[in-house]
Structure 1
Amino acid sequence: MNNEQLDRSDQAELAQFGYDQSLDRTTGRFASFAVAFAFVSIATGIFTTYGSVLNTSGPAGIWTWPFVVVGQTAVALVLGMLASRIPVTGYAYQWVSRVANPILGWVVGWVAVTFLVVVLVAVDYTIAATVMPVLLSYTSSLTTNVLVTATVVLIQACLAGSSTKWSERVNSAAVSAELIGMLILTVLLYVVAAFRGQTHTKNLFSTGAIPHHDYMSFGDLIHAGPWMLGFMLGAFTIVGFESAANLAEETHDPERVVPRAMWQAVLASGILGFLFIVAVTLAVQDPVALAKSSTPVADVIRHTLGGATSSVLLTLIVVAIFACGLVIMMSGVRLIWAMSRDERFPGWKHWKQVSPRFHTPLRATMLYTVIALCVLGTAAFSENVLLTLFGAATLLPACIYLASVLLFLIKRKSLPQHAKFDLGVWERPVAVTALVWLLFELLLFRDTSFKDAWMYVLIMMAIGAVYLAALLRHRGRSGMAMPDMHSIDAEFEGR
């Protein structure tokens, strides 16, 4: 079928869920993959968290990465099965609302909104704090970092609010640049470090300044073991692949395209990311000294490759991180729009509108931008801004994934089968693997270093609880029903 025939089929599929087609379907296979890959953005995650891993786990903490890749691939496959069966903008909010109940779905949707706000700030702050000071040779400060981050957020808002097509074009070009740039950067680090005799294989198994005693232990009640904290490197980086599902109503043949984009983005990011962090670790001259730097990865690149080459590659990294933030904004805006379309988000009458000029949820974009800038403003008073942001941005998606995977395991036998994406006999083992991984990941957040991240989550949950209580009081449980719930129920019953 051509795109026109697919679009008619997709519109008919969307109508079964009670919605009319109001967004343009312009997203193809590569664009869908680019959205998922850009959100994961190995450049962003590694530049953000590598220094923290050096301080908590030492260089040997990088060996947690392959375990995270396996766990998150399993999660992506489970979410892919949900995305294929419910190809509607709003991803986990829609899945949980329709398969479990709308109240639980609203809670998951609110958690997702808070995640998509804080992770945008974390990603854009990475540009300001860990790349630009080295690229432009200036000394960063909290004020400078906040101003640069705010500027980046506003540029992304202008692009996302004015054109989805151009946003996707910018993102696709940036993803291509990131893939090529990261490959070149990785190869150059291996080759140049080896040629100059600067390859230090002992780094791969060094704990740096971290004592060897109980290094591999799980930890105690309120502290995770040193090596266990290394899992945060991969856990923060390999998230957001489900963003492709949040553009389901703008994607051609989303039942087939979206699930594949998700798991392919995780595998591509996992393999390339691991090769890169190994290359960086091998090129580190002094892990203990590097752990004290606020720009550790950029420092290694500049020291190994020299000024001119590293400047070009760091510029590509900035482009990749910008694209990551752009995709996060597009995803967050569409979730607010989807919840507002169902009259579930505060001030929904304003945010559900699609701009007749730009064909984008322009007002939802403006709201999302204001919320993000408010979060940035509060983070500016924290001494450990980046640690707080990445902690919250890792904790929140883990909660969303756990709710979705548990829901799938409970309801999988009643879910309709979908020939376009199905794991067959591997369905249950993959789902169980995802569940075990997510439970393990959440246990790591008992560590007291994440107390500020928990505080952010609790404050946002309190705000959400107040609004949900008001909704229930005003409408009652029956007033929370999703549009055309009977249609999905019919699907579950096999029609």
Structure 2
Amino acid sequence: MSEMVVEQDQQELLPRRLRLVEAVAITFSSVGCVAGVYSLFGFSFTTAGPAMIWGWIAVSVVALFMCLCWAELASHMPLAGSLYHWARAVAGPSVGWWVGWMYLLSLILIVAGWFFIIPTTLGPLLGIEFTPLQSSLVVFAAIAFAATVNGLGIELLGKLATVGTVLELIVGLALTGWLFFASDHQPASTFFNLGAAENLSQWWPLLFGGGIFVAVWVLFAFEFAGAVGEETKDPHRAAPRGVMLALVGTLIVGTATLVVFILAVPDNNTIASSSTPIPDIFNAWLPGWVAKVYLILLLWIEILGTNAFFAAVSRQLFGMARAGQLPMSRVLSKTKNGRPYVAVAVVAIIALVPLIFSQQMSVLATGSTACAFATYFVVLLAVLIGRLRGWPRTRAPFSLGKAGIPVNVIAVAGTLGILVLMLWPNDNANPFFGGLRVAYWLLGGIIVSGLLVFLLGRRKLIAASAAEDGLLEFETREASDKSPTA
């Protein structure tokens, strides 16, 4: 490859302005551990009882193996539009395009569901119950705010996310620690309480049909560290560290929070039937103002978390547009002062579309998460096949080495298991919407729209992706140069 191509590819990269701590904070905030636990604790607790904790443990193991794969991929290719580039590099342009399309639309659906957490926190804080219209207006304002912050640049978001991470640690550890010592908590045997089920045969369907969902909703999106890795200093080392550090932080905070909340439940039946289970648990053992402080901090965390998630979605859109893989790619890939401002504006507009069809956060969360895991499964399977064919042929600063294939196999199996659970026809995790299950609507819509775009513009899309070879080659060589064994 000529030096001219290398220089051109370097110019196409977004400026590297983030420090490692800021990249980790953005990833950790976008995962939204405390916010996710708050929003879906009642759903999973009601479905599977205190024994829901075992679902968290099982998904944590799957997330670990997934993140090891993401970390290695991010070390090789820390680029905006992460999953698209990774799938393309190991399986070719057609697979890459489909992965990118599925992932992009899944993220857009998820970001709408993410924003719906905000009114569920703001309502109890203000002591009112929002109507569907009022909730939509709150979501609209939050999306507008996220677009504004993202439009001002990744540096501002990195600083805000760092503050948000500190606050999340305070909420996740300090307040829940106080709750643990203040409560007349239940014995450890409560973790084997099956809730409404009388035996294990009745409980397994409840766990997989809803009890596990709080874990599935929280323990994903760690690949975002690869997406913002392009804008991070020393990206080939920082991106994989970002993936793993965000995972470790989430597992510590999430596990501690769930354990304390379950132990502090004053009465299982009361909390299972409550519309505000977390505030009720706090109010049962601590002064009334503590729950208010928790909600205030939680609201701030949610605002920053949605902003971080919004950033990752806009980078996915920008990354695919830069590679010429979307309609109107030239417009969508425009930047100003290193900021993908058009992608930010378009994500804001598109994220409002789901509000027209559904104003239920649970409906968006279940279906869109299933779509995301469908994408994960395709990527991990493609990477596994790539490994069997000799990938990676060069080393990067983070490498799984000989452990790559067994780690990848476990990640594929675990992701497939979660995907099957998300697509299973049950009324808890995959409810009916308009005569069809939510996940089928959303996944089917993504596939049908993808077929239209891909078939109509296949030749142009494949030809445009060829121009990306130089960028991937440059990133691969840079990763190899930074590898300890280089």
Superposition TM-score, scaled by structure 1 size? 0.88
1:317 maps to what in 2? 298
2:74 maps to what in 1? 83
1:428 maps to what in 2? 405
1:3 maps to what in 2? none
Q: Does 1:38 align with 2:24?
A: no
1:470 maps to what in 2? 456
Q: Does 1:270 align with 2:256?
A: no
2:115 maps to what in 1? 124
Q: Does 1:448 align with 2:438?
A: no
The alignment partner of 1:23 has SS state of: coil
Go from structure 1 to structure 2 and tell me whether the alpha carbon gap of 1:486 and 1:186 turns closer, same or farther (over 3 Å shift): closer
Q: Which amino acid aligns with 1:361?
A: P
Give runs of aligned pairs for residues 153-192 of structure 1, distance below 5 A: 153-192=143-182
Give runs of aligned pairs for residues 52-451 of structure 1, distance below 5 A: 52-129=43-120, 131-193=121-183, 197=184, 199=186, 201=188, 203-212=190-199, 214-217=201-204, 225-229=205-209, 230-356=211-337, 359-380=338-359, 385-412=360-387, 413-445=390-422, 446-449=424-427, 450=430, 451=437
Superposition TM-score, scaled by structure 2 size? 0.89
Question: In 2, Cα distance between the equivalents of 1:433 and 1:310?
Answer: 40
1:45 Cα deviation after fit: 1.4
- Does the CA contact (< 8 Å) of 1:98 and 1:488 recur in 2? no
What do residues 116-169 of structure 1 show as CA deviations (whole Å, max 9, x unaligned)?
21221112211212x222211112322221111111111111111122211111
What do residues 470-492 of structure 1 show as CA deviations (whole Å, max 9, x unaligned)?
1116x274454342359639969
Question: In 1, Cα distance between the equivalents of 2:47 and 2:69?
Answer: 31
The alignment partner of 1:241 has SS state of: coil
- Does the CA contact (< 8 Å) of 1:97 and 1:482 recur in 2? no
Go from structure 1 to structure 2 and tell me whether the alpha carbon gap of 1:336 and 1:60 turns closer, same or farther (over 3 Å shift): same
- Does the CA contact (< 8 Å) of 1:34 and 1:171 recur in 2? yes
1:330 Cα deviation after fit: 0.5
Question: In 1, Cα distance between the equivalents of 2:207 and 2:471?
Answer: 49
- Does the CA contact (< 8 Å) of 1:86 and 1:94 recur in 2? yes
- Does the CA contact (< 8 Å) of 2:89 and 2:472 recur in 1? no
**How many residue pairs were aligned?**
465
What do residues 51-91 of structure 1 show as CA deviations (whole Å, max 9, x unaligned)?
22123212211221112111101100111111111222211
Please list every run of 5 or more consecutive structure 1 residues that lacks an aligned counterpart in the other structure. 1-11, 218-224
What do residues 350-371 of structure 1 show as CA deviations (whole Å, max 9, x unaligned)?
2111024xx3111111110010
Question: In 2, Cα distance between the equivalents of 1:306 and 1:204?
Answer: 26
Go from structure 1 to structure 2 and tell me whether the alpha carbon gap of 1:213 and 1:89 turns closer, same or farther (over 3 Å shift): closer
Q: Which amino acid aligns with 1:304?
A: W
Worse overlay, 43-52 or 283-292: 283-292
Question: In 1, Cα distance between the equivalents of 2:50 and 2:251?
Answer: 18
2:18 maps to what in 1? 27
What do residues 276-333 of structure 1 show as CA deviations (whole Å, max 9, x unaligned)?
1111111212222322333222332233323212211221111111121111111111
- Does the CA contact (< 8 Å) of 2:384 and 2:405 recur in 1? yes
Question: In 1, Cα distance between the equivalents of 2:197 and 2:141?
Answer: 37
Please list every run of 5 or more consecutive structure 2 residues that lacks an aligned counterpart in the other structure. 431-436, 482-486
1:397 Cα deviation after fit: 2.3
Q: Which amino acid aligns with 1:312?
A: V
Go from structure 1 to structure 2 and tell me whether the alpha carbon gap of 1:16 and 1:437 turns closer, same or farther (over 3 Å shift): farther
1:220 maps to what in 2? none
Go from structure 1 to structure 2 and tell me whether the alpha carbon gap of 1:257 and 1:489 turns closer, same or farther (over 3 Å shift): closer
Cα RMSD, aligned residues only: 2.5
Go from structure 1 to structure 2 and tell me whether the alpha carbon gap of 1:308 and 1:73 turns closer, same or farther (over 3 Å shift): same
